[in-house]
Each structure stands twice: as C-alpha cells, then as structure tokens.
Amino acid sequence: MTLRYRCLLLDHDDTALDSTATIHHPAHVASMAALRPGQPAIDLAGFFLKNFEPGFQAFLRQELAFTEDEMQVEYGIWREFTEQGRPHFFPGFLDALETYRKAGGLFVVVSHSEATTIRRHYEQAGRGWMPDEVFGWEAGEGRRKPAPWPVLETLQRFDLSPEEVLVVDDLKPGILMAQAAGVPSVAAGWAHQLPAIRAYMKTNTLGILESIGDFAEFILQA
C-alpha cells in the first residue's frame, strides 16, 4: 500500500482519546473552586470553545485574570488530574493507526498535554508501539501549537516534504500551526459538534472527518 501521507501529526486530547470531559474540564472546575470560590466554572461546551478561541492560557490570564501564583496552583491541580486519570482512546482509533503504521506510516503527537502523559497513555494501551515523536506542553513558548515549530522539526527529523504530512486536530491552535508551516490539515469531528468550531474547520482545513471510520479511510487512502 502506498499512503497518501507519510506522516501524521496528531493532536492527543479529543482527537486520539476522550479526555476533556473526563480530565481537563473537571480539573478546571476544581481550579475554579479553589481559586474563585463562588464563581461558577464554564460548562463543558464553553470549555471547548475557550480552548478553541482565545486558547486556554489566554482565557485564564485575560478573562479570569489569574495571577502568576494562581497559574501555578491551577497547573498543580491540572497535573494531579492528568497523572491520576486514565482516559480511553476512541474506539477504532488505535486500530486505524496500527494499520497505518504497518503500511509504513509515521505518526507524531503534537499536544498541549505533557509528553510523559501522552507516552503513558500509549503504553497503557498495550499495543507494543509508541508515537515516533511527541511534542508536548513542556516544549515551551514558541514551540507549542499554534507555533509551527513542531511541524518544521518533524519535517527536518524525518526528511519529509510539506505535502507528505497531515495535521489532524479538533481545535484551532493545531490548524493555525499547520497553516503557519504550510502543510495540509483535517478536523477531527468526533469529539464535539459545536457550530462555531465546525464553521471554522470547514473553511480552514481539507474538511471535517466526522467519525473514526472516516479518519481510518482518509489516512489509508493511496
């Protein structure tokens, strides 16, 4: 089989696994209870939208006006939830990746979660294989989505041309990263169905993959 794309640059949360509803949003609710008691936290749909625009860090700093000390408390609560939680990969996602790998494809994870957490999730999945590279939150400012650095670094490390890679993400930062690096992207549409996000994705990507079945078919097309 000759793959259309030699390498996938995959988001992790709500693209590979169902983690915002089970880990990240509950961590935010806990942070608000600790830092803004009496102020209700946004609901799950609102949380997705804030991660989409303006981005979670901007939301905390600008809209909630968290201080640096409060940001550290929030980070600690988030770390506790991510270290203790064990979210599940979407059914069929790992099967599609396994077939893609056996056909010679590479895959790199680009996420706002930490690389150790991402690798632990793949290890816990028990498939016996891992991402070819992981770029997580700890990469730092200028090396995280929406910055193009993870894509450009992937192209260099694996000797790839821009048309040989595909970014798959469910939110705006990953699509902005792809645009800045000059590579194609598609939207993962199976985790949420929010109209504002879908409208953006329809305009700014190759299209929305509505299901894991669509994802498998798309990445395995010759």
Torsion of CA 86, 125, 57, 185, to 10 degrees: -150
CATH class of 7-18+88-220: alpha beta
Q: pLDDT tens digits, residue range 127-144?
A: 999 999 999 989 888 999
| Domain parsing of the chain, residue ranges | 7-18+88-220, 20-84
- SS3 category, 101: helix
Contact 164, 5 (CB under 8 A): yes
Q: Is pTM beyond 0.85 here?
A: yes
Q: What is the pLDDT of residue 185?
A: 98
- 12 φ, ψ to 5°? -110, -65
Contact 120, 131 (CB under 8 A): no
Q: What is the pLDDT of residue 84?
A: 86
Length of the chain measured in residues: 222
Q: pLDDT tens digits, residue range 92-109?
A: 999 999 999 999 999 999
Contact 186, 28 (CB under 8 A): no
d(CA 183, CA 175): 9
What tokens appear for 17 in the block? Answer: 């696994």
pLDDT < 70: residue spans in the chain = 1, 222
CB within 8 A of 89, min separation 6: which ones? 16, 17, 18, 121, 125
Q: What is the pLDDT of residue 82?
A: 87
